[in-house]
Amino acid sequence: MPRFTIHDLAQTIDARAASGGEASYTRKLLDKGAEHCAKKFGEEAVETVIAAVENDRAHLIAESADLLYHFLVLLKARGVKLEEVEAALDKRTNMSGLEEKASRKG
């Protein structure tokens, strides 16, 4: 069975961003600007946290899917590619999390 990946989602967002706004929620979000996309991402983050705190597995899964979608839309709005985020994560795997966090201070 084929597996849907975050890259598949990013490609879907790219395709919908290129489409007309009337039929695409993604295009409508992008047309409202990066600030609006950031607010939507923040709303989804809060909803994800609430689902986690309430220990509601099904709700957490659904909100996590919304969160990932809105995160990728926000990246698109700011012209950041998923591959750039992956490259930053790749760099961080060469050191411990504590070392990486310390390297960002200052």
pLDDT in tens, 32-57: 999 999 999 999 999 999 999 999 99
58 pLDDT above the threshold of 70: yes
User: Is the sign of the CA dihedral 82, 34, 67, 9 positive or negative?
Assistant: negative
pLDDT of 97 over the 80 cut? no
Spatial CA neighbour of 64 closest among 50, 80, 44, 84: 44
| pTM, rounded to two decimals | 0.86
Render 15-65 in DSSP notation, one character per residue.
HHHTS-GGG-HHHHHHHT-HHHHHHHHHHHHHHHHHHHHTT-HHHHHHHHH
Domains and their CATH numbers in the chain = 6-80 (1.10.287.1080)
Q: What percent of the chain has pLDDT over 90?
A: 77
Question: What confidence score (pLDDT) does residue 106 get?
Answer: 59
CA atoms within 13 A on the CB side of 68: 14
